Amino acid sequence: MENNDLSHYRKSYEKHELLLQETPNNPLELFQKWFHEVDEFFPEDETNAMTISTMGLDGYPKNRVVLLKRFNYEGFIFFTNYLSEKGRAIAKNPNVCLSFFWAGAERQIIIKGKAEKIAENLSDGYFESRPRGSQLGAIVSQQSEVLESREELENRLTELEALYEGKEIERPSYWGGFLVRPVEIEFWQGRPNRLHDRIRYQLDSEYNWVKKRLSP
């Protein structure tokens, strides 16, 4: 492979600014504001796509992109197979990191928190709202397990479609939601000359949010 030198890649970030005195006391309010702004003005970005980082069972950290499905003052909810690599990693070590990068708005958000399973009835409700194909997909996929071929996966789906024809599909017990309760949230706004704006919120011992500006 040839040496691919990328040192000439350059982009100047000039769209917005983030001033400490203009930020709310609760970071979830700023998250909501940014999320809705990106969703409205930068439709080319998949706004709810986020990277989740876990500490793997093999001792290595691992990142992957998942979809945020709900957020509120408690935290951030996504859904997955609890027996998947990420599900088993969270069961062993619930400390995770979420990150959003919205290129159009020149913004990113980094969230440290602890993940916990949500109530089963909440997972049931979301599963029932999914398209039928996605419901079957959650059952078909033995997530993270080795597959001999693509045909093996498609054959399983065909068998399940026949099995559940005309029947309601119940959520499998191994599939559901995680809530990530944040302990630290950092907001990053791109600025010219790499002098980016960074505001970090951290929970103190009394569960109050403390915010500070960080050097870029």
Look up the domain containing 25 and give its range.
20-125+174-214
pLDDT at residue 43 tops 90: no
Q: Whose CA is closest to 77, among 7, 201, 181, 148?
A: 181
User: Of the residues 132, 171, 194, 200, which is catalytic?
Assistant: 194
Higher pLDDT, 54 or 157: 54
Per-residue pLDDT of 93-141, as tens digits, reads: 999 999 999 999 999 999 999 999 999 999 999 999 999 989 998 888 8
In a domain, 131, yes or no: no
149 band by pLDDT with thresholds 50, 70 and 90: confident
pLDDT more than 70, % of the chain: 100
User: What's the chain's average pLDDT?
Assistant: 93
pLDDT more than 90, % of the chain: 74
Cα separations in angstroms, 20 against 41, 101, 212: 23, 20, 7
Interaxial angle between packed helices 150-163 and 132-140, expressed in degrees from 0 to 180 and rounded to the nearest 10 = 120
In a domain, 63, yes or no: yes
Specify whether 181 is catalytic: no
134 contact partners, CB below 8 Å, separation of at least 6: none
Higher pLDDT, 197 or 44: 197
In a domain, 168, yes or no: no
Instruction: Supply the CATH number for residue 27's domain.
Output: 2.30.110.10
213 band by pLDDT with thresholds 50, 70 and 90: very high
- Domain tally, the chain: 1
In a domain, 3, yes or no: no
User: What average pLDDT score do residues 151-164 get?
Assistant: 87
In degrees, rounded to 5, the angle at the alpha carbon of residue 48 between the alpha carbons of residues 6 and 90 is 90
Token pair recorded at residue 145: 């397990």
In a domain, 190, yes or no: yes
> What whole-number distance in Å separates Cα of residue 88 and Cα of residue 148?
22
CA 16 to chain centre: 24
In a domain, 12, yes or no: no
* Dihedral angle over CA of 49, 33, 176, 67, nearest 10: -10
Start-to-end CA span in the chain (Å): 34
User: What average pLDDT score do residues 77-99 get?
Assistant: 97
Highest mean pLDDT among 14-23, 39-48, 105-114: 105-114
Q: What is the pLDDT of residue 5?
A: 86
In a domain, 41, yes or no: yes
Q: What is the pTM of this model?
A: 0.91
In a domain, 15, yes or no: no
